[in-house]
Structures are given as structure tokens and as C-alpha cells.
Structure 1
Amino acid sequence: MARTATAAAAPRAPGFLRAALLLLLLVAACRQAAEENVVTELRCQCLETMKGIHPRYIQSVKVTSPGPHCDRTEVIATLKNGQKVCLNPESPLVKKILDKLLNKGNTN
């Protein structure tokens, strides 16, 4: 069975047209990836908080102020075993821990 003339003579897209199409797809993929990163960063990190933890287990503390990502202050402590826990910034024990850490850095 012979091929029809229209199928054999179908024009191919020029190289620059294919390159432009690939570039368009690449830009769309990069834009989507960038939007996904922004969405995951624009939210609160702490869903549940602890009232406190003994300071000897804490390696470091990160305090994040309220902003467009989250409407509340977040206190995230990294423990010496590598685990991260969220602490309640309104808790008296957490306030004492933060005060101790701030004063520790100011004593020269």
C-alpha cells in the first residue's frame, strides 16, 4: 500500500520555531516552580507549640517576627539532637529562655 502524497509532504517546523517552543515550555516550567516555592514559604511554620523545654537541651533558637508569611511571632528551637520544636512565645518559661540567651550574648 502506498502512502498518500499529503502525509509524505507534510511540512516540518523550522528549527527556530521548535527552539522557541522549547524555550516557552522551559519558561513556563520555571515560573511554576518559582510560584510553588513562594507558596510554601508564605505560611506559618509552627502549627503546635510547647510551653517550654529545659535550656540544656537547646542548641539554638530562631525567632521570626510577624509578617506577610505569618501573623504571629514564632520561636523555633533546634535541640542538641537536631530536632526542631516550636515554643509558645507568650509562655513565661520561653520568655525567660529568650531573655537568658539574649543576655548571654551581651556579656563581654
Structure 2
Amino acid sequence: MTGKAVAALLTLLLLFAAGTRGKALPRSAIELRCQCIGTHSKFIHPKFIENVNLTPSGPHCKNVEVIATLRDGREVCLEPTAPWVKLIIKAILDK
């Protein structure tokens, strides 16, 4: 291809990309690896936890991952075998 043809093709692709709307995918659909490098096992009082995300093991990661979003916006990976984390998971699953 000549330089002009490449430039025209790139311009066309940019115009097409600008006219489309992307859709956000869930984190699990994007990430093909474990989210948690390490885990936190010390007790965190439930009043400081805003949300808990439980990701079962699968092809992306062999570990069950429990990610808590704290009220201050931080995300913390919790140790799924800790007794207090098991209680939180049980409470979520019983709902």
C-alpha cells in the first residue's frame, strides 16, 4: 500500500471508532488472571465495608477471591478461609 492509502485507511478507521459507543464489560470478563496478589486476614468491622464481591475459582484463577470495597473507596482482597470472612460469605449467600 502507498502512504496515502494507509493514511486514508487509518482516517476511516478513526472515524468509525469515534462514531461507536463502547460498552463496559464486567471486570471478570476483561481480566483473565487472578485479581488478588495477596490477601488480608485481619478483621475489618462490617461498618467499614461498603460492598463485597465474591469471584469463584475458574479458568481465570484457581483461587476463590473475595474483594471488599471499603467506605473510603479502597479495595481489599480478603482471605476466604478466615472465619470472619466465611461468616460474611455465608450471610451474602443466604440473602
Report which of the two has the higher share of helix: 1
Q: What percentage of aligned pairs have identical amino acids?
A: 49
Distance in 2 separating the partners of 1:102 and 1:55: 16
> What letter is aligned with 2:58?
G
Of 78, 83, 92 in structure 2, the residue corresponding to residue 87 of structure 1 is: 78
Aligned to 1:7: none
How do 1:64-83 residues align onto structure 2 when only pairs under 5 Å count?
64-83=55-74
Q: 1:44: Cα distance to partner?
A: 0.4
Aligned to 2:38: 48
> What TM-score results when the alignment is normalised by the length of structure 1?
0.58
Aligned to 2:26: none
Q: Structure 1: where are the runs of 5+ without partners?
A: 1-12, 27-39
Q: Structure 2: where are the runs of 5+ without partners?
A: 14-29
How many residues are aligned here? 75
Greater Rg over alpha carbons, structure: 1
Aligned to 2:49: 58
Distance in 2 separating the partners of 1:97 and 1:88: 11
